[in-house]
Amino acid sequence: MKISEWRAFSRSVEFLLEAERSVSVRAQAPALAEADLELSLPQRGRGLNEVLARLVEVGLHTPNTASPRFFNQLFGGRIPAATFGDMLAALFNNSMYTYKVAGPHVLIENELLAHMTSLAGFVGGEGTFTPGGSLSNLLAMIVARGEVFDGTREAGMTELKPTIYTSSEGHYSIRKNAGLMGVGRDNVRTVKTDDRGRMLPADLRACIERDLADGRRPFFVNLTAGTTVLGAFDPIPELSEVARAYGLWVHVDGALGGSMLVSPRARERLEGIELADSLTWDAHKTMGVPLTSSVCLLRRRGLLAKHLSESADYLFQDDQPRLDPGQTSMQCGRRNDALKLWAAWQNLGDDGYAARIDRMLDLAAYAAARIRAEPELRLVKTPESVNVCFTVDRAPTEGLCRALVERQRAVVGHAQVNGEAVVRLVCINPDLRESDIDTFFDEILRTAAELRPAAAAPSPAPA
């Protein structure tokens, strides 16, 4: 890459960052984007400056996840050090399967995994990076299958009747992964939850007992630390006790809540995490690094190589397994998702990350207090973490969320809680101010008021 090309790229980035200051939402319907943008691929190539201009146009039509009006997903905001780390990873373009081609980035990855396993209480454990929480969950399920059902890596699951358990609030990837790995989606049991969205130990035991009586083989239970909608944390000690009594692998899906381990104030939500066999932890959520940066951590060392390694002399040519992470990964070619997290952690340290997470929880508490104080709003549940679910009086939830985007006022999602449509506000950007939360509620109340006359208008008489 020539210096002049880098300068042209830098100017484009500066233009987009400047544009963020004047555009709060920057989201539009697909048909409008298709009409505004020239996306077809050319027969003959275009010059770099023209390509950069087209990339800038795409950027100006891309939803702004760093906006103070973006509350839609379980990620948001931006840490400059992490963004720069991600840009350098693309510039270096090293694959993470061997030290020979990745160099010190393997050491960086090992340092992160060691620190994260320590925070999880997995003394002497191990881990690997994956392209997202769904695949971290899948990896844990694969390792569990091999550990509980000896020989399945070679012989498959011909005569087995395996069953998996997850709560009614658990992530959809558990059922999806069961289909991918040959267990079958019909063999995933949905365990009931309490009024806070936490898995009930008594119902887990009852589900296992029913399957055993039916001649089935329970082997895996997925606990959740920070459910997608309510942000609930399953009681790990009680559920682990049930699972251990029947020889089940205990996995904790902490894609959202795993980062709470860095905060002395918040880590109590994951009490008993050291009892688990595996943990999913997404750094691209509450740790603020660019997508994706997810890890699957295991309490016992050696299981990744046992269930994943393959002989490939043309690739793995080092005598030290820790320097050939391709032997403990589901992937061969693998992007460097560690450098951006390392850069952010260098910038913030444990203390800075603790303050960041505590700030998110404070923002969620502030939003809940604002809802309680507003007659037209109803708080569905007291927030367990960064998710705040509520309804707006006499306003259709889905239509309200759609109208906020269409009118360029805010981006926020909706979900179902006990069969009721709710607005799900995610306070995951610690750079927001309380005034930004107030502005969001002002906008949602204004939009709801505008929608009510249309909702109340009588239907036109048939011709």
CATH architecture of residue range(s) 85-343: 3-Layer(aba) Sandwich (3.40)
Beta-sheet strand order (sheet of 377-379): 377-379, 387-392, 420-426, 413-417
Q: How confident is the model at residue 374 (pLDDT cuts 50, 70, 90)?
A: very high
pLDDT of 463 higher than 60 = no
Q: What is the pLDDT of residue 314?
A: 87
- The two tokens of residue 236 are 């790990």
State the amino acid at position 135 in one-letter form: L
Sign for the CA dihedral angle at 415, 416, 417, 422 comes to: positive
Q: State the virtual CA torsion across 52, 54, 55, 60 in degrees, nearest 10.
A: 130
Are the CB atoms for 385 and 359 separated by under 8 Å?
A: no
Classify burial at 413, counting beta carbons within 10 Å of its beta carbon; exposed 0-12, middle 13-18, buried 19 or more: middle
> Mean pLDDT across the stretch 113-128?
98
pLDDT of 79 higher than 80 = yes
Same fold, 85-343 and 349-454: no
pLDDT of 442 higher than 50 = yes
pLDDT of 179 higher than 50 = yes
The CA-based angle 313-314-319, given to 5 degrees, is 45
Phi, psi torsion values for 362, nearest 5 degrees = -65, -40
Distance CA 93, CA 89 (A): 6
User: CA 32 → CA 61, 65, 407, distances in Å?
Assistant: 10, 20, 14
Q: How confident is the model at residue 8 (pLDDT cuts 50, 70, 90)?
A: very high
Please confirm whether the linkage preceding 280 is cis (ω < 30° from 0). no
Query: Can you say how many angstroms the Cα of residue 236 is from the centroid of all Cα atoms in its chain?
Result: 20
pLDDT of 400 higher than 90 = yes
Q: What is the pLDDT of residue 319?
A: 63
pLDDT of 456 higher than 60 = no
Q: What is the pLDDT of residue 460?
A: 53
> Mean pLDDT across the stretch 168-184?
96
Classify burial at 383, counting beta carbons within 10 Å of its beta carbon; exposed 0-12, middle 13-18, buried 19 or more: buried
Which residues neighbour 25 within 8 Å (Cβ) at sequence distance 6 or greater?
63, 64, 67, 69, 70, 405, 408, 409, 410, 411
Q: What is the pLDDT of residue 462?
A: 52
Are the CB atoms for 106 and 282 separated by under 8 Å?
A: no
**Per-residue model confidence as pLDDT tens digits over 271-318:** 999 999 999 999 999 999 999 999 999 999 999 999 999 988 888 886
> Mean pLDDT across the stretch 333-355?
98
**Helix, strand, or coil here: 136?**
helix
Q: What is the pLDDT of residue 454?
A: 54
Distance CA 285, CA 297 (A): 17
State the amino acid at position 144 in one-letter form: A
**Residue of 8, 6, 85 lying closest to 290 (CA atoms):** 85
User: What interhelical angle do 48-60 and 3-20 show, nearest 10?
Assistant: 20
Beta-strand relationship, 126-130 and 294-298: antiparallel
Q: Which of 154-158, 357-361, 456-460 has the lowest mean pLDDT?
A: 456-460
The CA-based angle 375-381-384, given to 5 degrees, is 130
**Per-residue model confidence as pLDDT tens digits over 240-252:** 999 999 999 999 9
> Where do the H-state alpha helices sit in 381-421?
397-406
Q: How confident is the model at residue 432 (pLDDT cuts 50, 70, 90)?
A: very high
> Where do the H-state alpha helices sit in 309-396?
339-373
pLDDT of 424 higher than 50 = yes
**Could you tell me the residue ranges of all domains in the chain?**
3-62, 85-343, 349-454
pTM, full prediction: 0.94
Are the CB atoms for 355 and 264 separated by under 8 Å?
A: no
Beta-sheet strand order (sheet of 249-254): 126-130, 294-298, 278-282, 249-254, 217-224, 162-167, 188-191
> Mean pLDDT across the stretch 211-233?
97
Query: Can you say how many angstroms the Cα of residue 173 is from the centroid of all Cα atoms in its chain?
Result: 11
Q: What is the pLDDT of residue 341?
A: 98
Q: Class assignment of domain 349-454?
A: alpha beta
pLDDT of 461 higher than 60 = no
State the amino acid at position 59 in one-letter form: G
Q: How confident is the model at residue 419 (pLDDT cuts 50, 70, 90)?
A: very high
- The two tokens of residue 369 are 């207090």
**Helix, strand, or coil here: 22?**
coil
Classify burial at 235, counting beta carbons within 10 Å of its beta carbon; exposed 0-12, middle 13-18, buried 19 or more: middle
**Per-residue model confidence as pLDDT tens digits over 313-332:** 888 886 677 889 999 999 99
What is the rounded average pLDDT for all residues in the chain?
Answer: 94
> Mean pLDDT across the stretch 446-461?
71
**Residue of 337, 280, 9 lying closest to 127 (CA atoms):** 280
Distance CA 303, CA 328 (A): 9
Are the CB atoms for 224 and 171 separated by under 8 Å?
A: yes
